[in-house]
Amino acid sequence: MKYLVLLCDGAADYPLEEYGEKTPLALAHKPVTDMLASRSIAGTVSNVPKGMVPESDTANLAVMSYNPKEYSKGRSPLEAMSLGIDMQPDETAYRCNVVTLDVPEDNPDAEYEDLIMVDHGADEIPTEESDLLIKALQAELGNEFCHYYTGVSYRHCLIWRDAPEFKDFMRPHDILGQGIKKYLPGEPFLSIQKRSYEILKNHPVNLDRIRRGLRPANSAWFWSPGKKPALPSFEEKWGLKASVISAVDLIKGIAICAKMTSVNVEGATGNIHTNFAGKGEAAINEFKRGQDFVYIHVEAPDECGHRAEPDNKILSIEKIDAEILKPVYEYLLSTGEDFRILILPDHPTPIWCRTHTMEPVPFILYDSRQDNAGIKRFDEESAESTGLYVPKGELLMDLMLK
């Protein structure tokens, strides 16, 4: 038996008034997904426990069968692990976004505290450019206690030894279009962010981006602190050789901590310009080399939700179907071996609010040996109509593997 999980990050949404009260999942042309849905067990699942923040670390841990309440230590340590950082017990990891802040129209001389959060990812700045910005921060702000590490695109990492206690950080994608004053961290983090703004706003990389009509990555923004995580081995837990395919450091970090194989795909970016076909090809190659379980994580729908781009969100779902699911399904079918496919988002990222929400998400579980009376289309309303509700995401793996 082979097992495929296709995790469409943030694909769930609310009905869009301007699209006839339909969601991106309902609007997308995804013939393979919908064909599997018509023959699958279908329902909804809550991947984020009540009282926890609906973040991708929490939700993906649950889908991979790890109880978030027990194993979630924040997303930053997982990202640090994927960067090859060997965190020590006295070190804390922080996500360090490079964001776009701007002055209010009515206050051109605004101080840092009065700026507006325009973009949590600075137009999804390429890693080659943001690397130069992170190196500038390290040169000016790094020391024997603090070190800045380049991640992917706008997602970077600060490691702080003997860090001061402060937990009330704000996720930048939660305050898009808002003034930052009431969401700023306490000291010393505020002073560091203000200093980062002075370092980055006139950096040659950002001046060039402005000349090209792109948003500058003109400030660091810290959030999601955490200590080094420890997960039980996925193979020891389930007796399966497993691989994870993702462009995102967070998901790669979970794989590393769970002793799963983390597969890098050239051109995988974490946005709609990612190498969809390359992810499908990588999954096929993992099965060919003997892996039992492959987990494909696709960030693109989530980024489109954050950017309030409904057409691109629909397109990303269509590309997942055509360029990832279709070839992998056809390969599994050609082997003659039994297989199961689980398809779901981790959490909703609705267009209207541009951030993650807590609602249950739809899922389908296809078994090549069975012909279940499934749902006509893989979307939120159809999945909910079955009445099957899984209250904890970590229970899905039991359903899939047992």
Domain presence at residue 84 = no
Q: Are 42 and 362 in contact (CB under 8 A)?
A: yes
Query: Please, which residues bridge with residue 8 across strands?
Result: 298
CB contact burial 173-198 (16+ within 10 A = b; e otherwise): bbbbeebbeebbbeeebeebbebbbe
Out of 208, 226, 244, pick the residue that ends a domain: 226
Distance of CA 218 to the CA centre of its chain: 23
Bridge partners (DSSP) of residue 367 are 340
| 384: in domain | yes
Same domain, 246 and 394: yes
> Residue 121 sits in which domain range?
91-226
Burial class (CB within 10 angstroms; exposed 0-12, middle 13-18, buried 19+) of 260? buried
Give residue-wise pLDDT tens across range 52-82: 989 899 999 999 999 999 998 888 999 999 8
Number of residues assigned to the chain: 402
User: Stretch 138-158: mean pLDDT, rounded?
Assistant: 96
Query: Do residue 254 and residue 352 come from a single domain?
Result: yes
Query: pTM of this prediction?
Result: 0.84
Domain boundary among 196, 226, 256: 226
Q: Is residue 43 part of a domain?
A: yes
- Which band of pLDDT confidence, cut at 50, 70 and 90, is reported for residue 229? confident
Residue 390 domain flag: yes
The reply to whether 60 and 158 lie within a common domain is no
Q: Residue 402: is its pLDDT beyond 90? A: no
Burial of residue 371 (CB within 10 Å: 0-12, 13-18, 19+) is exposed
The burial of 395, by beta-carbon neighbours within 10 Å (0-12 exposed, 13-18 middle, 19 or more buried), is given as: middle
Angle, nearest 10°, between helix axes 276-288 and 326-335? 20
Around Cβ 168, how many Cβ atoms within 10 Å?
9
Residues 360 and 270 in one domain: yes
Residue 73: what pLDDT? Answer: 81
Q: How confident is the model at residue 228, as a pLDDT?
A: 86
Claim to verify: residue 8 and residue 129 sit in the same structural domain: no
Query: What is the pLDDT at residue 232?
Result: 95
Residue 246 and residue 173 share a domain: no
The string of DSSP letters for 342-385 reads EEE-SSB--TTT-S-----EEEEEEETT------SS-SHHHHHH
User: Quick one: pLDDT at residue 384?
Assistant: 98
Q: What is the pLDDT of residues 263-319, one digit of tens each?
A: 999 999 889 999 999 999 999 999 999 999 999 999 999 999 999 999 999 999 999
- Domain shared by 206 and 241, yes or no: no
Q: Are residues 113 and 43 in the same domain?
A: no
Q: Let me know whether 195 and 277 are in one domain.
A: no
Whether 245 and 376 map to the same domain: the answer is yes
